[in-house]
Structure 1
Amino acid sequence: MASTEWPLIIFTILTQMAVGTYIVLAILRALLAKKIEPQTAAKLTNIGLLAVGPVMAVALLISLFHLGSPLIAFYSIANLGTSWLSREILFSGLFFFLWIISYYFIMKNKSGNALNWITAIVGLLAVFSMSNIYSSSIMPAWMAADTFVSFFGTTIVLGLLASAATVGFAAKGEKLQEVTVSLLQRVSLLTLAVIVLQLIFLPEYLSGLAGGGQAGQTSAQLLSASYSFPMLLHWLLTVIGAALLTYVLYKKGSEKLMTLPAGTIYLAFIIVLAGEFVGRFLFYASAVPIRIG
């Protein structure tokens, strides 16, 4: 894999995590505000929503290392009608801009759900555009539906884990009400469910590559031979991290008031994040282009 792919690895992972975290926290905030004091719901989610901006800003800056200069990024937007790259740049930048506006209103306690959902939709459009860039390439490993499964899976999984971690940080050892803990438990179960769905889809993806042309067969061979250990490591890390989150949240989940085991939640998030980076490395390393001519 070329060293020039590392900015793309970091950009795609951070962008998807930022979008997923914003969406999950916006939903958690809305649900909690209906069941507990709105001030408490705001306190538990404000830090995470704040963190989305710096993460997205780093992602956008990192992307410039791949494009070469901000000027190239500016000219890339000119092809919105035909280029998924142009749409990715537009929606990623627009998501960051809308985050600035929405967070300003959140801090003023004037944030409405409409602005949050618009921001969330724009973020999803950024991930969708990102997925289409690769699925419309000449790489069989990217042309399959697995690209959408992988990118949106990462968006959901890292969004859920990062949200749980930031809520744990915001709680700062305080006792949380049962309704809050219950929502976080559902977050952990949803994380496991998304990972399981990705694993169910994996054999079909690999068999599709192996049964395709020479480029697809080469990619399948790379994944089953040269990169078999990184692929195993990717799934082990994501499953272990998600399982750890579920275990610690359900261990004392029957208590009416519960102090979140923040340290363990951070560890679960770091393990899954590491797994996603390994998986994204494989995404680029296993791609072999179709020979033309």
Structure 2
Amino acid sequence: MQSMELPLVLFTVLSQAAIGLVLMNAVRQCRCAGPGEGNVRMEWTLIAAFMGVGIAASLFHLGHPLESYRALVHLEKAWLSREVLAAGIFFALAVFAAITARGKGSPVLMWASILAGLSVLLASGMTYAPPALPAVNNALPTVFFLISAVVLGAGFASWFAGAENQPLLARIFVTALVVGLVVRLTVPCAWLSGSEVMRQTGLAWLGAPLYWVHVALMAACLGVLWKNRTIPVWLPILALAAELAGRAVFFSETIHTAMNIGGVY
């Protein structure tokens, strides 16, 4: 891709944080049948804020932001159009839930938001997996995005969860961090044995300072959890910084086939 694409970095990471929060909300609701915990309205407000800021940031990626609605005209064949539609639906549901939240919130709204959120993840994964990027022309973008959603969702959900659900969120957070570290450390190494463009992508990722910043911050989050056994209030911010660094690497260091035109494959 060869460009950091800051608007897309912000959109994908913040939208995945919002989706992860909804997923963790569902986990907590399924686990606890009692009264709602924490401030449900504030939680949905944060979800809507993450998604709203992400969508607003994504407009700066467009040459003509005021014509962004035209992205919807190719729903039958373009994953980007489907991503835009799903993100809009998710944002609308989150705003409505934030306005109308009472007690535990509406199960219908929660499950509708989960469906819309998973649709965003799938559409984003397909959008950023084009044939011109051989290293990620597969399920890897969706895997990366799902891991980010779970890491950030579990982290920020700890701001709203009751004491009885904090250990569960900490376990989910740790598991997602471990899986994320394994995936992000092994995938670039696997690319080294692939085609020339994949090998160049692996070398670019491993040689990028932000890649190692991402790994170091994820490891630091694990270290904090190992020591505290619970999620400190500031730790989700550190995890967010890690995901932003990792996403910048995804967009800036994944090699396009055009980079090797005329070279040996």
TM-score range, shorter chain: 0.7 to 0.9
- Is 2:41–2:99's contact at 8 Å kept on the other side of the alignment? no
Give, in angstroms, the shift of residue 30 of structure 1.
Answer: 4.9
Which secondary structure does the structure 2 equivalent of 1:136 belong to?
coil
Q: Aligned residues, how many?
A: 259
Q: CA deviation at 1:245?
A: 4.0
Is the 1:139–1:290 Cα contact (8 Å) retained in structure 2? Answer: yes
2-side partners of 1:145 and 1:27: how far apart?
25
C-alpha deviation, 1:62, in angstroms: 0.8
Asked whether the 8 Å contact 1:242–1:272 carries over to 2, the reply is no
Which residue identity lines up with residue 239 of structure 1 in the other structure? Answer: A
Answering whether residue 165 of structure 2 is matched by residue 165 of structure 1, we say: no
Question: Is 1:248 equivalent to 2:249 in the alignment?
Answer: no
2:172 aligned with 1:190: yes
Q: Aligned pair 1:155/2:144, yes or no?
A: no
Q: Give the one of 124, 131, 135 matched to 2:118.
A: 124
Question: What TM-score, normalized by structure 1, do the two folds share?
Answer: 0.80
Q: Which moved more, 1:200-209 or 1:264-273?
A: 200-209
Report the residue type matching 1:11 in the other structure. F
Which range is displaced more, 76-85 or 111-120?
A: 111-120
Give 1:133's aligned residue.
Answer: 127
Greater C-alpha Rg: 1
Structure 2 residue ranges without an equivalent (≥5): none
Separation in 2 of the partners of 1:97 and 1:23? 17
- Structure 1 unaligned residues grouped into runs of 5+: 168-179, 251-263
Identity %: 24
| 2:234 partner letter | L
Runs of 4+ with deviation above 4 angstroms: none
Higher helix share: 1
Q: 2:192·2:202 contact (CA, 8 Å) conserved in 1?
A: yes
89-98 or 146-155: bigger deviation = 146-155
| TM-score scaled by length of structure 2 | 0.88
1:245–1:274: structure 2 CA closer, same or farther, 3 Å change rule? same
1:50 corresponds to which of 26, 45, 57: 45
Indicate the larger mover: 98-107 or 58-67: 98-107
Residues 230, 2 of structure 1: CA spacing in aligned structure 2 closer, same or farther, 3 A cutoff? Answer: closer
Letter in 1 for 2:107: N
Q: Relative contact order (C-alpha < 8 Å, sep 6+): which is higher? A: 2
Any idea what the Cα deviations from partners look like across 1:129-168, whole Å, max 9, x if unmatched?
Answer: 001011134112322432122111001100110111344x
RMSD of aligned residue pairs (Cα, Å): 2.3
Shift of the 42–69 alpha-carbon distance from structure 1 to 2, 3 Å rule, reads farther
Quote the Cα distance in structure 2 between the aligned partners of 1:241 and 1:110: 30
